[in-house]
């Protein structure tokens, strides 16, 4: 019984945490493309965890700021989500430097700039309540 528990602990340690999985996925977003918080959550197999994605990015360690392009994750309306811990104009500037354009309302055209996801993206079907 104790041996099974020890092996389970080893398995858990080899799998990334949700936050680590978010960081790994966001690192794969190409320059000039964006994804939504909900899209990241769905790709990771947790379609209702958009807020958790935002939380993970909020707590991105400072030593990962240059390696994880956090600015490429925006909300489902194509806008930059307003948060109290950073300046949204920084995110906009970084995206514009990558060639992403904003309309007069501060939105990104997701049809034009959305990243489709990794080649082996898992399709997640959402249940619709009627």
What the chain holds in terms of domains, given with CATH numbers, is 18-113 (1.10.10.10)
For residues 108 and 86, what is the distance between their CA atoms, to the nearest angstrom? 20
Instruction: Identify whether the C-beta of residue 31 lies closer than 8 Å to the C-beta of residue 97.
Output: no
How many Cβ atoms are within 10 Å of 3's Cβ, its own excluded? 7
For residues 90 and 118, what is the distance between their CA atoms, to the nearest angstrom? 26
Could you read off the pLDDT of 73-114 as tens digits, one per residue? 999 999 999 876 667 899 999 999 999 999 999 999 999 999
Structure tokens belonging to residue 109: 């055209």
Instruction: Identify whether the C-beta of residue 24 lies closer than 8 Å to the C-beta of residue 57.
Output: no
The pLDDT value given to residue 87: 78
Tell whether pTM > 0.75: yes
């Amino acid at each position: 019984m104790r041996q099974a528990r020890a092996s389970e602990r080893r398995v858990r340690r080899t799998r990334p945490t949700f936050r680590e999985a978010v960081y790994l996925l966001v690192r794969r977003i190409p320059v000039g493309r964006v994804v939504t918080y909900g899209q990241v959550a769905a790709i990771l197999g947790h379609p209702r965890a958009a807020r958790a994605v935002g939380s993970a990015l909020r707590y991105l360690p400072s030593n990962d700021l240059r390696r994880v392009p956090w600015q490429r994750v925006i909300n489902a309306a194509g806008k930059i989500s307003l948060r109290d811990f950073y300046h949204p104009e920084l995110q906009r500037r970084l995206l514009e430097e990558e060639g992403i354009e904003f309309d007069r309302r501060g939105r990104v055209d997701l049809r034009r700039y959305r990243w489709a996801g990794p080649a082996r993206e898992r399709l997640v079907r959402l249940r619709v309540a009627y």
